[in-house]
Amino acid sequence: MIAAAIAGVRFWRTPRPPTPSAARLPADVRILLQPFRKDTFALPLAANGETQYRIAMQAGATLVYSWTASQGMVSCRFADQRPAKASEAHGAFVAQSSGWYRWRWNNPTGDSITIRLKLSGYYEPQAAPPAGMPPAGMTYDR
């Protein structure tokens, strides 16, 4: 009787399927595997200078962002959007393809400014990849 019960347990036990590598999954599933992030960065912007900040996103991932300049107006451009002059901006963005997306700020004044950037969504910050290497499959830069 015990032998029959053990044989029955072995019969019904099925092995787990192997976990697929994220690289082989469709893009919409890879997005679900990325952790939701929420970060705030203080970026120095020198007098008459320029600074930039990059994030890596998978195709279809969503990002909500806002930034403010500590004083005055700055020129800003995000990804392939039109350049603008403002002291703050906010919006939402859906990545059309996997790759790097970049903000660029130019300071036309003679005073140093701090840009306070707030991000929420599915992305990897600039500091995550090792020494200038993009995350796997993310070589395109906007």
Kindly report the backbone phi and psi dihedral angles of residue 15, in degrees, each rounded to the nearest multiple of 5, phi listed first: -70, 150
Q: For the segment 66-91, what is each residue's pLDDT rounded down to a tens digit?
A: 999 999 999 999 987 889 999 999 99
Kindly report the backbone phi and psi dihedral angles of residue 30, in degrees, each rounded to the nearest multiple of 5, phi listed first: -60, -35
β-strand partners of 118: 40, 66
pTM: 0.68
Per-residue pLDDT band at 131 (split at 50, 70, 90): very low
Half-sphere exposure of 134 (CA within 13 A, CB side): 17
Whether residue 8 has pLDDT greater than 60: no
Please, what are the domains in the chain?
36-125 (2.60.120.380)
DSSP letters, 22-59, are GGGS-HHHHHHHSPPEEEEEEEEE-TT-EEEEEEEE-T
* pLDDT at res. 79: 84
Per-residue pLDDT band at 61 (split at 50, 70, 90): very high
* pLDDT at res. 29: 54
